[in-house]
Amino acid sequence: MSHTFQPLTQEQTELIAFEWRYEGEYAFYNMDADEEDLALFLDADERGDTTFAILDDELIGFVTLQFESVDAVSIGLGMRPDLTGSGNGHRFLTSILNWIEATYGTRTVRLAVATFNKRAIRLYESLGFIPQDTFMQETNGGVYPFLSMTREQSEPPNN
């Protein structure tokens, strides 16, 4: 069963921003860890029509799309904290990839992940993402290494 995708509402945005709390090193992903990113996320005009709620009866995550061309999109995503680290990532990301291809016909999907997040990197690699390069990103009051990864969707991923 795949998930449902709908434009992210302001209520859902505020729930993610203020109530989703990641623990330990993953607190890096708490929305309020970076005031500028938080302000952009909360601003409906900034989000536009490219940020989507991912639902499985209830809100379980979100994905933001940034189209680079007709065939390429960069994504940012987040899964509800209580669902992380429990083997839910494969189904979650597969659903996103299937939805992007079915909705937009997009073949190339790119993302960036903090290099400390080995758990996410393993998931992305298991679904065909290939590491490209490492770069430094200013965020959360500092500068951190991130890994860019790319996946060519020649066929829909297996569920």
- pLDDT tens-place string over residues 90-105: 999 999 999 999 999 8
Kindly list the structural domains of the chain, giving each domain's residue range(s) and its CATH number in brackets, ordered by start.
4-152 (3.40.630.30)
Pair of tokens at residue 37: 């990113």
Asked whether residue 155 carries a pLDDT value surpassing 60, the answer given is no
For 102, list phi and psi in degrees, rounded to 5: -70, -35
- Please state which of the ranges 15-19, 55-59, 105-109, 153-157 shows the lowest mean pLDDT: 153-157
E strand residue ranges, 15-82: 51-55, 59-67, 72-79
Cβ distance 101 to 135 under 8 Å? no
Asked whether residue 34 carries a pLDDT value surpassing 60, the answer given is yes
Distance of CA 57 to the CA centre of its chain: 19
